[in-house]
Amino acid sequence: MTDLSPDPASRRSPLHDVHAAAGATFTDFAGWQMPVRYSSDLAEHAAVRTAAGLFDLSHMGEILVVGPQSAAALDFALSGPMSRLAERQAKYTLMLDENGGIIDDLVVYRTGEDRYLVVANASNREVVAARLRERADGFDALVEDESGDIGLLALQGPRALEILQNLDGLDLRADIEPGTSTADAVAALRYYRAIPGEYEGRRILVARTGYTGEDGFELYTSPEILRTLWESLLEIGAGAGLVPAGLAARDTLRLEAGMPLYGHELGLSVLPAQAGIGRAVSLDGKGDFVGRAAIERGEPADPRSDFAGRVLVGLASEGKRAGRAGYAVHEDGGGRVGFITSGALSPTLGHPVALAYVDADRGEPGTTLSVDVRGTRIPATVTPLPFYTRAAH
C-alpha cells in the first residue's frame, strides 16, 4: 500500500468537532480539512439516492454583490444573463477569462432587486472575489466576500423535503402568502429557486439546489447556528434514513449525475462548449462580458493544452476496474485520443463510469474506445450524460 500521507493542518469547519465525534475521516480539500466519509462512502452514497444525506459545505465561497448596478456588473463579469434572473431565482453560470477559459463554475442567487449571492468553489473563492471586484469597477456595485460569515449545509435525497418540512425553528412565514405554513413554502419551492427566512433567530436562505442528481436543498446561514441546524436535521431525519455524508460520496454522486467539477472537467484551458455547458454562456441575452470575444472566435482557450480540440464525454465500461483521472483513452486498438478527468466504479449502476476529454470526432455516443487502466486496455463506450437520472415523481 502507498500514498497514504497524513493530512496537513488546514482550515476547519465550524462543525469539525461534531464530525470528529461522528468518526469522520478527514481530507485536505482546497486548504480545508473536511469530512471525506463518516463510516462508508458507499453507504452514504446509497443513502442520498434512496433516502437523504447531509453535507457540510462550509468550505464553499459565498460572495455578495450588492448595489443598484449589481445586475449589470454581473452581466459583464459572468457568462450568464444575471440581470434576467427574477428575485429568488438561481442560475448555474461561469466566470470566464479573456481567452474564454473557465475560471470557475458558480451558482448565483438573486436575493433582491439589487442583491446577488455568488457561490464559488472553495479553491477559487479568492480569485473569484478578486475578479468580481475588478470587473465591477465602474459599476455602482459592491463586492463582499462573506465566506467567513456564511455557513452552508446541503440536504440531498428523495426524503430531503419531508425532513426539512419537519425542522423546528425554521420560519419562512415572513416571506410567503398569509395563511400558508413554512412546510407549504418549502414544498412549493421550485428547482433553482431560493427563499429567505429565519432559523433560530438568524437569517437563512433555503435553496432548492444541489450537486448530487437528487432532489434537495442547500441551506445558507450563520456559522454560529450551523451546529444546531446540523444536529437538528440529523435528529429529525434519522427515522427517514438521513445520514451525514462526506466528500467521497459527493464526488461519486455528482459523477453519476454527469456534473463537471472544477479542476477535473473545468479549468482555464477549457471552453464552455467543450465541457458541454455552452448553455451557461449567453451570447444573445446580453451585451459584452469577459470572454465573449474569445467564445465568438471559437478558438481553443489554450491551443497547447491537452484539452484543445477535445470534448467532454461519458464513458461506461463493464466489469469492476475503473479508469481514474489522468488515465489515457485510446481508439479501439489504436492511439491515444484523450484522457479521463474523473472516474469510479459507479455505486448506483455497479459498473465503471468516467468523464473524459476525447478528440471531437470520437465523441459520438456509441463509439467504442478503450481506457488504459495501469497497463490493461479496458473497452469503454461513449455514453450520453448523465449516467444516472433520478426517477420522475
Query: C-beta of 159: minimal distance to another protein in Å?
Result: 22
- Kindly state the cell numbers that stand for 245: 455524508
Strand, coil or helix: 31? coil
d(CA 202, CA 119): 20
Query: C-beta of 375: minimal distance to another protein in Å?
Result: 11
Query: C-beta of 338: minimal distance to another protein in Å?
Result: 20
How far is residue 212 from each of residues 27, 217, 293, 294, 314, measured CA to CA in Å?
20, 11, 33, 32, 17
Our CA angle for 117, 213, 43, nearest 5°, is 115
Q: Is the peptide bond before 81 cis (omega within 30 degrees of 0)?
A: no
Q: 318 or 361: whose CB is closer to another protein?
A: 318
Query: C-beta of 176: minimal distance to another protein in Å?
Result: 41
Q: Which of 150, 97, 82 shows the shortest CA–CA distance to 127?
A: 97
d(CA 268, CA 345): 28
Residue ranges in contact with another protein by CB under 8 A? 1-4, 6, 25, 36-37, 40-43, 45, 248, 251-252, 320-322, 324, 344-345, 347, 374
Q: 67 or 347: whose CB is closer to another protein?
A: 347
Indicate left, alpha or beta for 90 from its phi (over 0: left) and psi (-120 to 50: alpha): beta
Query: C-beta of 344: minimal distance to another protein in Å?
Result: 5
Query: C-beta of 43: minimal distance to another protein in Å?
Result: 8
Q: 50 or 222: whose CB is closer to another protein?
A: 50
Q: 256 or 265: whose CB is closer to another protein?
A: 256
Q: 45 or 49: whose CB is closer to another protein?
A: 45
d(CA 303, CA 90): 33
Query: C-beta of 41: minimal distance to another protein in Å?
Result: 5
Q: 43 or 183: whose CB is closer to another protein?
A: 43
- Kindly state the cell numbers that stand for 347: 455505486
Under 8 Å CB-to-CB from 330, ≥6 apart: which residues? 336, 337, 369, 370, 371, 372, 377
Query: C-beta of 5: minimal distance to another protein in Å?
Result: 9
If residue 49 lies in a helix (H) or strand (E), which one and from where to where?
helix 41-50
d(CA 67, CA 136): 10
If residue 248 lies in a helix (H) or strand (E), which one and from where to where?
helix 247-256
Q: 64 or 247: whose CB is closer to another protein?
A: 247
296 exposed, middle or buried (CB, 10 Å; 0-12, 13-18, 19+)? exposed
Q: 43 or 360: whose CB is closer to another protein?
A: 43
Q: 226 or 322: whose CB is closer to another protein?
A: 322
Query: C-beta of 297: minimal distance to another protein in Å?
Result: 39
